[in-house]
């Protein structure tokens, strides 16, 4: 892939310049802040030690979703006879899969580089460290460079967590290494049943591996509504993915031929690969944050509703701020900070209003409060589950699932939770419903195209409004 470079003239100019904004980290939150700030006429410097685009573009959102699409193609080839198409799956060519995935990443990377260059953003390649409220020290291939700004935005992202005593290497890996698998393993244990774990479990099963998911909590995707967890576990069982919930990891050992996972109950699992997917942690160590007066809690930077830290002129966005670890949250926070610096008085982001999608098969998409959260906030709630069995497009796609709505009794819809094929594409309207505090009757009055998956969202609201069509009242 191409790299970003500054020539010596640009570097020298940067040394003597105080920018309006200096951003440490070129991932989703960092580059979004840079692009918006430049659009607002601010002078911007962006410091990144790796590749522009960060985890999302190179090790997260984009490459993993490319793998998931390749997995969907594999399933379609394998199951073609269900649709009267005599197709078969010969094998998975991982070199070809990587070529497709890397091609997608490469094109987006090139486009992002062009955007940064076109907007006149000063790009500095090197490891940056906060050296004061308005100063970033950058270790580059040419030595140490100082970049100054009236405002500093911290956007250093996250890393793949592991567990104490569990060494990554060989047959034990995180999602970072799993993105480069040279062949499909026969047996895989996925440690962690959150978003990353179930997405990789889905991919590997579609590629032909026997997969066991081990999760310490009582259910998969525990941050989602409990109904979504139950439907996903049922779907995984149908796909012959073994799920072990309430199972705590004790240790792992490996040989040249296999890895053995031991759980706290004494049971063991043997596999060709152990994929550790226990979440991501904030990259804040040894970056000068605390020395500069930045408050950290469990490694996360503490900020107010406008992403301002306790140090005047220093802001933080993305995965280093506690909350949802989502690229689109980072984008939104980066834009918010740029507009705040420019004096535009932006509206704070409501965390519960951020849409969430887990791209396993079947997909989970949600926005707003779970039923349990809604009961804590509103007391009395009404819920309804519209089964996709009544949706024509779902029957065409041969998918199963539900749309679950959570409503404050006598009030607006406060949560939308969906599981089934392509449900991620429906979350946009769901966000509008929750964000604009729509009542079921408001949505029921809208006409949804037939036959579409989107129609299921409309019918769920019709049912909750007391006038079900393709559902029992």
Known active-site residue 98: no
Computed on alpha carbons and rounded to an integer, the radius of gyration of the chain in Å comes to: 24
CA distance 72 to 66: 10
Q: Starting from the edge strand earliest in sequence, which strands make up the sheet with 381-387, in order?
A: 356-358, 363-368, 413-420, 402-408, 381-387
CA distance 218 to 237: 16
Instruction: Answer for the pair 219, 192: CB distance below 8 angstroms, yes or no.
Output: no
Rounded to the nearest 10 degrees, the angle between the axes of helix 226-238 and helix 195-206 is 20
Instruction: Answer for the pair 37, 21: CB distance below 8 angstroms, yes or no.
Output: yes
Q: Which residues pair with 406 in a beta bridge?
A: 383, 415
DSSP symbol at 163? -
Q: 34: which residues sit within 8 A by CB, 6+ positions away?
A: 21, 23, 26, 44, 46, 116, 119, 121, 334, 338
C-alpha distances (whole Å) from 101 to each of 175, 311, 436 are: 15, 41, 37
Which one of the listed residues 5, 134, 417, 450 is annotated catalytic?
A: 450
DSSP secondary structure string for all residues of 434-450: HHTT--HHHHHTSPPPT
CA distance 35 to 115: 8
Q: Which secondary-structure segment (H or E) carries 54?
A: helix 54-58
DSSP symbol at 21? E
CA distance 128 to 358: 32
CA distance 342 to 339: 5
Q: 220: which residues sit within 8 A by CB, 6+ positions away?
A: 193, 194, 198, 213, 229, 232, 233, 236, 243, 245
3-state secondary structure of 132: coil
Catalytic residues: 450
């Amino acid at each position: 892939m191409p790299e970003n470079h500054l020539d010596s003239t640009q570097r020298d100019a940067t040394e003597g310049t105080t920018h309006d904004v200096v951003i440490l980290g070129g991932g989703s939150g960092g580059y979004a802040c840079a692009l918006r700030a430049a659009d607002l006429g601010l002078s911007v410097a962006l410091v990144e030690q790796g590749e522009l685009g960060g985890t999302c573009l190179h090790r997260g959102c984009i490459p993993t979703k490319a793998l998931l699409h390749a997995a969907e193609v594999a399933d379609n080839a394998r199951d073609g006879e269900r649709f009267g198409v005599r197709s078969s799956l010969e094998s998975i060519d991982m070199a070809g899969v990587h070529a497709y995935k890397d091609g997608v990443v490469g094109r987006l990377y090139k486009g992002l580089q062009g955007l940064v260059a076109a907007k006149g953003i000063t790009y500095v390649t090197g490891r940056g460290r906060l050296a004061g409220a308005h100063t970033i020290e950058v270790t580059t291939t040419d030595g140490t460079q100082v970049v100054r700004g009236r405002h500093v935005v911290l956007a250093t992202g996250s890393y793949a967590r592991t567990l104490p005593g569990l060494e990554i290497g060989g047959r034990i890996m995180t999602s970072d290494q799993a993105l480069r698998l040279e062949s499909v393993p026969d047996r895989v244990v996925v440690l962690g049943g959150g978003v990353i774990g179930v997405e990789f479990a889905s991919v590997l099963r579609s590629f032909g591996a026997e997969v066991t998911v081990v999760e310490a909590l009582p259910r998969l995707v525990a941050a989602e509504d409990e109904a979504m967890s139950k439907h996903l576990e049922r779907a995984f069982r149908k796909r012959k993915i073994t799920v072990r919930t309430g199972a705590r990891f004790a240790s792992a050992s490996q040989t040249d031929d296999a890895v053995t996972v031991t759980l706290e109950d004494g049971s063991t699992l043997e596999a060709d690969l152990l994929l550790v997917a226990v979440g991501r942690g904030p990259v804040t160590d040894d970056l000068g944050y605390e020395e500069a007066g930045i408050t950290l809690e469990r490694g996360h930077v503490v900020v107010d509703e406008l992403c301002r830290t306790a140090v005047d002129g220093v802001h933080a966005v993305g995965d280093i701020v506690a909350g949802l670890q989502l690229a689109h949250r980072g984008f939104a926070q980066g834009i918010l900070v740029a507009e705040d610096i420019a004096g535009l008085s932006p509206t704070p982001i409501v965390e519960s209003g951020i849409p969430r999608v887990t791209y396993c098969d079947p997909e989970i998409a949600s926005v707003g409060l779970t039923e349990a959260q809604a009961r804590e906030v509103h007391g009395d709630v009404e819920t309804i589950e519209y089964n996709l069995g009544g949706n024509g497009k779902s029957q065409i796609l041969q998918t199963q699932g539900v749309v679950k709505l959570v409503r404050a009794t006598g009030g607006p819809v406060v949560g939308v939770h969906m599981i089934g094929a392509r449900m991620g594409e429906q979350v946009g309207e769901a966000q509008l419903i929750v964000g604009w505090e729509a009542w079921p009757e408001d949505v029921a009055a809208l006409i949804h195209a037939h036959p579409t998956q989107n129609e299921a969202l409309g019918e769920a609201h019709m049912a909750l409004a007391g006038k079900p069509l393709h559902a029992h009242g």
